[in-house]
Amino acid sequence: MAMNFVTFNQDYGCLAVGTSKGFRIYHTDPFAKIFSSDDGNVTIIEMLFSTSLVALILRYGRSTSHAPPLSTYVAPTSGAVLIFDAVELKALNVVQAHRAPLSCIALNNEGTLLATASVTGTIIRVFSLPKGTKLYQFRRGTYPSTIYSMSFNLSSTLLCVSSTTDTVHIFRLGGPVLPDSPRSMNDRWSRSRSFDSGAESPTTGTSPGSENTEVPGVTRKPSGTFGSMIRRSSQLMGKSVAGVVGGYLPQAVTEMWEPMRDFAFIKLPKGGMGLNSTGGPLRSVVAMSSSSPQVMVVTSDGAFYVYNIDMENGGEAVLVKQYS
């Protein structure tokens, strides 16, 4: 039995799994199976909160449909996101998120924030909806990686991201962007497109959880080595330069140093980052608990992990529960 699809419900209290032989529904806390069905090859499953209403899509081997001519259609290779009003049945906006094709998108619970990642997988962007203004830009890592899952917490203050690597990143979303902030001024310089070519340059990346990861408002224990003191001084100088000069340069230039690093991160067990039952790379789906500062991770080999996050200091999360 192959696992086809994994998703959490809207308040992250339930977990739904679609398989080649039906589907399963679990409580996340305490973790327990509450329903199962062995009918159909379920490729997509979605729940309506914790009700008995479940939407299923079965696999029939049909070819992909194409949009008719002159319709409001965004090509899957454009890196753009079409914002559509499902009530008024009309297109509202097209967000030019990335130049490379998209690999993953996510909405917050209110539908006011959109997170996007391209097939490159090094830069995560967050836009406001429906206007499509870029609010945040985060760096996942230096090297390309496929993003499998992104999820906001219920208060839209954290964003979890999982990929083909064994690291799950948690990014902190700060307050609203001020009208006169450098990021806002950059948007006035260039509102047409946000290209990955400059923003995803590997020259500014660091490994996840490294000592070079700086989080505003978080105090980290200083290292006593002379080399770390030099690196810390250069970082502070670079940030001050970016703050002063950032408001006067085009967006494509300032994005080379602007992306923020993760606030916290998770290292998945090495034994759980091999191949899944179908022989392909292991996938993972992440979500934040609605009742505690915890991250839930489900992997395609059937493992369920729960990690505690230090909301004050960030850093590496601690594994507290594990099921399979």
- Determine if residue 239 is left, alpha or beta; phi over 0 gives left, psi from -120 to 50 gives alpha, anything else beta: alpha
Backbone angles phi, psi at 188, to 5 degrees: -70, -30
The reply to whether 320 falls in a domain is: no
- Residue 74's pLDDT band (cuts 50, 70, 90): low
Please give the tally of structural domains in the chain.
2
Count of residues making up the chain = 324
- Non-local (6+) Cβ contacts of 125 within 8 A are 97, 98, 115, 116, 117, 134, 136, 137, 138, 194
Q: Is the pLDDT of residue 258 over 70?
A: no
Question: What percent of the chain has a predicted confidence (pLDDT) above 90?
Answer: 58
Same domain, yes or no: 3 and 97: no
Residue with tokens 């608990």: 289
* Residue pLDDT, tens place only, 80-105: 999 999 999 999 999 999 999 999 99
Q: Is the pLDDT of residue 198 over 50?
A: no
Q: Is the pLDDT of residue 48 over 80?
A: yes
Q: Is the pLDDT of residue 34 over 80?
A: yes
Residue 319, helix vs strand vs coil? strand
The model's pTM is 0.72
Q: How far is CA 136 from CA 27, 105, 127, 151, 252, in A?
A: 33, 14, 7, 15, 14
The reply to whether 283 falls in a domain is: no
Q: Is the pLDDT of residue 250 over 50?
A: yes
Same domain, yes or no: 36 and 97: no
Residue 150 · residue 124 · CB < 8 Å: yes
Q: Is the pLDDT of residue 218 over 90?
A: no
Average pLDDT estimate for 24-53:
95
Least confident window among 106-120, 243-257, 274-288: 243-257
Average pLDDT estimate for 13-36:
95
* Full domain range(s) for residue 41: 1-62
The reply to whether 274 falls in a domain is: no
Same domain, yes or no: 119 and 253: yes
Q: Is the pLDDT of residue 36 over 70?
A: yes
Q: Is the pLDDT of residue 252 over 80?
A: no
CATH number at residue 160: 2.40.10.480
The gap from C-alpha 288 to its chain's centroid, in whole angstroms, comes to 12
Residue 47 · residue 54 · CB < 8 Å: yes
The reply to whether 48 falls in a domain is: yes
d(CA 90, CA 92): 6
Same domain, yes or no: 20 and 152: no
The two structure tokens encoding residue 278: 């179908």
Average pLDDT estimate for 164-188:
66
* Residue pLDDT, tens place only, 125-173: 999 999 999 999 999 988 999 999 999 999 999 999 999 999 999 999 9
The reply to whether 159 falls in a domain is: yes
* Residue pLDDT, tens place only, 115-130: 999 999 999 999 999 9
